[in-house]
Amino acid sequence: MSSLEVRGISKSFGGVKAIDDFSFDVGQHAIVGIIGPNGAGKTTAFNLLTGVYALDAGRVILDGKELTGLPQHEIARAGMGRTFQNIRVFRGLNVLENVMTAADPYSDYNLLDVCFYSSRKRSREQAVRELSRNYLKIVGLEGCEEERPESLPYGLQRKLELARALATNPKVLLLDEPAAGLNPSEVRAFIDLIRTIHSQFEFSIIIIEHRLEVIMSLSSKIFVLNFGKLLASGTPAEIVSNKAVTVAYLGEEDTACSI
């Protein structure tokens, strides 16, 4: 059984069809990639999966549970974790607290515990704190706990988003252009990090990326979107040799220019 089944999702904005009947499956513990030219609808697809946009049509099923039409936070708690293309860390909270907020919805105490300073609150808080520290350690941010997230360099902010997404205890992790803005050595380190995390946990990963080396080296399967429609799907090798994909990215070869 697949981790994630996406059936015929569609979304229009005004008259523009941003996503048109897009279907795909993600197997258990798999890494898949979604690529496509700019404006192809990749982030829109993520937004549809996570409930940021309402589906015009189609269904989303995660581990057998129907996610279609649920509010965003319930989709997140059902196991859909994500990072964002434009980094969205929480200001007003430090790095550790950013990760803690993602683990907080699972923390089990109530308002009375808060008002009466109960030991249950103390122990749960301690647990969340330890858990979050651990996630920060996994992505390589230990030592940065007290920092303000907006003062971190770009690459570290991306790591913070990753740690935060991990803390939501996902079944599927959606990474939206996670390597954007990283230099080549950072990209290589990032690829290793994803491999490590993937082997350590059981969730599947869907990556949107423009950096083909990231997609090629990590994904077992790739889906190509163009103008909101699924253009091709297959293994990295198949996609690379697919003519239609090359045309979509680079355009038709103009014989007049091939001097």
Partner 1 sequence: MEYLASTLTFTGISLIGVLGAYLVTGLTGLFSFGQAAFLAVGAYVSAILFKNFGLPLPVAAVAAMITGLIAGVIVGVPTVRLRRDYISLVTFGFGEAIIAVLNNSTSITGGATGLSGVPQYTTFPLVLVSVLVCLAIVISYKNSKYGRQCLALRSDELAARSMGINVERLKLMTFLMASVMTSFAGVLFVFYTTYVEPGAFGWVVSAEWTIIVFVGGINSLTGAVVATVLLTGLPEFLRFASEWRIAIYCIIVLLILNFRPSGMFGQYEISLRSIKQLFGKGA
Partner 2 sequence: MTIQLLINGISLGSVYALIAVGFALVFNILKFSNFAHGGLMTVTAYIGYVASLFLRNYISDLPLFVATLVAAALGGGVLGLILERVAFRRLRDSNSSVIYYFISSITMGILMENFITIFASSNFYSYPPFLPSAALHFANLSVAIPDLLMLCFSAGALGILLFVLYRTKIGLAIRTTSFDVNTARLMGMDPNAVVATTFFAAGVLGGISGVFLGINYTLYPQLGQLIVKGFVASVIGGLGSISGALIGAVLLGVVEIFLIGLVGAGWAPVFIFVIMLVFLLLRPRGISGVVVQEKA
Using the minimum distance from each CB to partner 1, give the nearer residue, 100 or 205. 100
Cβ 153 to partner 2 shortest distance, Å: 21
Per CB under 8 A, 101 contacts partner 1: yes
Length of the chain: 259
Q: How far apart are alpha carbons 195 and 192 in whole angstroms?
A: 5
Query: E-strand spans in the chain?
Result: 4-13, 16-26, 31-35, 57-62, 65-66, 80-82, 172-176, 204-208, 221-226, 229-234
Instruction: Choose which of 21, 23, 59, 84 interacts with partner 2 (CB under 8 A).
Output: 84
Per CB under 8 A, 85 contacts partner 2: yes
Quick check: helix, strand or coil at residue 255?
A: helix
Whole-angstrom CA distances from 236 to 23, 56, 72 are: 18, 31, 32
Per CB under 8 A, 137 contacts partner 1: no
Whole-angstrom CA distances from 148 to 94, 133, 145, 152, 215 are: 5, 15, 9, 7, 31
Q: Which candidate, 18, 17, 19, places its Cα nearest to that of 9?
A: 19
| CA–centroid distance for 98 within its chain | 17
Piece of 26-34, 111-119, 219-227, 234-242 that binds partner 1 (CB under 8 A): 111-119
Using the minimum distance from each CB to partner 1, give the nearer residue, 65 or 77. 77
Using the minimum distance from each CB to partner 1, give the nearer residue, 17 or 129. 129
Per CB under 8 A, 240 contacts partner 2: no
Per CB under 8 A, 13 contacts partner 2: yes
Using the minimum distance from each CB to partner 1, give the nearer residue, 49 or 197. 49
Using the minimum distance from each CB to partner 2, give the nearer residue, 13 or 154. 13
DSSP string, 108-154: ---HHHHHTT-HHHHHHHHHHHHHHHHHHHHHT-TT-TTS-GGGS-H
Instruction: Choose which of 22, 24, 53, 190 interacts with partner 2 (CB under 8 A).
Output: 53
Q: How far apart are alpha carbons 165 and 84 in whole angstroms?
A: 10
Q: Is the dihedral of CA 40, 44, 49, 54 positive or negative?
A: negative
**Main-chain dihedrals φ then ψ at residue 36, nearest 5 degrees:** 160, 160
Using the minimum distance from each CB to partner 2, give the nearer residue, 143 or 181. 181
Instruction: Choose which of 1, 111, 250, 259 interacts with partner 1 (CB under 8 A).
Output: 111
Cβ 162 to partner 2 shortest distance, Å: 16
Select from partner 1, partner 2, none the partner in contact with residue 100, using the beta carbon and a kind-dependent cut-off of 5 to 8 Å.
partner 1
Select from partner 2, partner 1, none the partner in contact with residue 71, using the beta carbon and a kind-dependent cut-off of 5 to 8 Å.
partner 1
Q: Which amino acid is at 122?
A: R
Binding stretches for partner 1 (CB under 8 A): 50, 52, 71-73, 76-77, 82, 84, 88-93, 97-98, 100-102, 104-107, 109, 111, 114-115, 117, 121, 124-125, 128, 148, 164-165, 168
Where along the sequence are the contacts to partner 2 (CB under 8 A)?
Answer: 13, 43, 46-47, 50, 52-53, 84-85, 88, 176
